[in-house]
Amino acid sequence: MIWIAAALVLIAVYLSWTAGRLDRLHSRLDAARAALDAQLLRRASVAQELATAGVLDPAASIVLYQAAHAARQAEEEQREVAESELSQALRAVFAESAQVEAVQEAPGGEAALGELTEAVRRVPMARRFHNDAVRAARALRRHRTVRWFRLAGHAPFPMAFEMDDEPPAALAARTV
């Protein structure tokens, strides 16, 4: 009888430890998602400011503004596509270093480019941290023990954020 009680206590401790670990992973996932959302919003905001500042040619301003606006207003289901389109618009607008030089020469252009460069560099890092947290949570949720005892509760299955986040070559080469 004592052995059965000891085994049940050990199983309960293991399940409690696993549930706590899963809860910490979900908290880490929530924090990583919030950081990713903040970086994506910052990138879209800076791109939108730059598009309306009058330092770009009119066609580039329209393309960049529309992509940034769409990224800021996108519903959750369409967010990855909208953010990828913003990345493509940034690469199209800043495909050549001549456009970067033209923006630098404008009043306030150097500060705007610095902010955009920093925002464009932080998005891939934030996405990588988020996707690493997703991978860790998924790995733990796949264990039989977690599934059998429903330790994940009602938490939704974590989904990776897949998007095109390649920065424009002219901005990537730039030092902040």
Strands (E), 86-170: none
Residues 6+ apart with CB under 8 A from 24: none
Q: Stretch 52-73: mean pLDDT, rounded?
A: 94
Question: What's the whole-number average pLDDT of the chain?
Answer: 93
pTM higher than the cut 0.75 = yes
pLDDT class of 171 with cuts at 50, 70, 90: confident
Residues 6+ apart with CB under 8 A from 71: 40, 43, 44, 79, 82, 83, 85, 86
Q: Stretch 44-57: mean pLDDT, rounded?
A: 92
Q: Specify the residue for token string 């580039």.
A: 60
